[in-house]
Amino acid sequence: MLGCGGVSERLRVVVTGGNRGVGREVAAEAVRRGHRVTIVARRPDAGAAAAAEIGADLVVGDLSSVRTVRALAGEIPETDVLVHNAALWPGRLALNEDGYEQAFFTNHLAPFLLNRLLEARLRRVVQVSAALYVRGRVDPGRTPTGRDFHNVRTYADTKLANLLMVPLFAERWRDTGVTIDAVHPGVLRTDLTVGDGLFGRVMKAAKWTLKPAGKAARPVADLLTADGTGRYFHVSKERPLKRKALDATLARTLWDDAARLLKEG
C-alpha cells in the first residue's frame, strides 16, 4: 500500500481533464501537497474557473484528434509528471476528424501520442484506469473505427487498450529513468457514470449511491512520487493485471498502429 507522505521536491504536474470530476480532485490534491500543477481543459471558461479555485495553471486544449493532440503537446509546459485523466464514456457512435471512434481516440490514442511527443521531458506518467477493463475486448480491425461499438463495452475496450500499453512504455523507458503506472481510483460519482438510453437511466438512478470523486484524489496523487514502473493499482493496492491485459501480441499490434499516427499526423 502507498502512503501519501510529504514531498521532498516540488514537481511540475500536468493533469488532463483537470477542470472537473476526478481530474479536478487530483489536481487540487497535488496543489495541497506542494506541487506546481497545470490542468488541461477543453473549455477556456470552465478551465480558468477551476484553475483559479484550486491554485493551478491552465492550458486550453483537447484530445479529440491527431491535430489537436499535437497542438496541445506544443503548449504543455516543462513537466515532471503527466496524469492521463481525461476520458469519454460514449453513449453513441461518433467518429473524429481522423476517422477513429471518438472515445477510442481520446481515451487511448491521445495518451499514447502525448507520451511519445513529451517523453524527452517527462519523469513519470500516471494513467487513470478503470476496473472495467476486464469487460473489454479490443479487435484492432474493428474497435478503432467503432465497427464493434457498444455504449457500455466501448469504454471498457479503451481502458483495456490503455493497460496493454503500460508494460511496453515501461520497457521503452527502462533505461531513461521515466516511469509509468496505472491506477483504478474506484467506482465514483462522475459524469462518466451517466450515459444514454436504459444504461444511462439506471446509472443516473444509482449515481448518488457512489462515492464522491474526491475519493480518487489520494490514490492517484500518491503515485505522483511513487517509485516503480509498469504496475497496476486498484485504489491504493497493487494488483496483477488480468490475462487479457497481458496479451503481448495484441499489445504490439496496438502499439504499432498508434505509432503510425506519429508518422502520418
Number of domains in the chain: 1
Instruction: Give the CATH number for residue 130.
Output: 3.40.50.720
Q: What is the mean pLDDT of residues 240-265?
A: 94
Angle between helices 110-118 and 66-75 (to 10 degrees): 40
Reduce the DSSP state of residue 141 to 3 states and report it: coil
Tell me which residue range forms the domain holding 175: 12-185+213-264
- Percent of the chain scored above 70 by pLDDT? 85
Tell whether 139 is covered by a domain: yes
- Percent of the chain scored above 90 by pLDDT? 82
Specify the residue for cell string 511540475.
12
Tell whether 65 is covered by a domain: yes
- The residue ranking higher by pLDDT, 264 or 150, is 150
**Residue 124: what are its φ and ψ, rounded to 5°?**
-160, 150
The C-alpha atoms of residue 241 and residue 7 are separated, in whole angstroms, by: 29
Tell whether 238 is covered by a domain: yes
> What are 99-126's pLDDT values in tens digits?
999 999 999 999 999 999 999 999 999 9
Q: What is the mean pLDDT of residues 30-51?
A: 97
Query: What pLDDT was estimated at residue 210?
Result: 41
Alpha helices in 55-152 (DSSP H): 66-75, 102-104, 110-118
Judged by average pLDDT, the poorest of 21-35, 85-99, 210-224 is 210-224
3-state secondary structure string across 15-68: EECCCCHHHHHHHHHHHHCCCEEEEEECCHHHHHHHHHHHCCEEEECCCCCHHH
Tell whether 204 is covered by a domain: no
Query: What pLDDT was estimated at residue 59?
Result: 98
When pLDDT is cut at 50, 70 and 90, the band that residue 9 belongs to is confident
> What are 168-191's pLDDT values in tens digits?
999 999 999 999 999 999 854 455
Q: Is the pLDDT of residue 30 over 70?
A: yes
CB 137 within 8 A of CB 127: no
The C-alpha atoms of residue 101 and residue 168 are separated, in whole angstroms, by: 23
Mean pLDDT, the chain, whole residue set: 89
Tell whether 39 is covered by a domain: yes
Q: Is the pLDDT of residue 6 over 80?
A: no
- The residue ranking higher by pLDDT, 191 or 203, is 191
Active site residue 155: yes
Tell whether 48 is covered by a domain: yes
Tell whether 218 is covered by a domain: yes
Tell whether 5 is covered by a domain: no
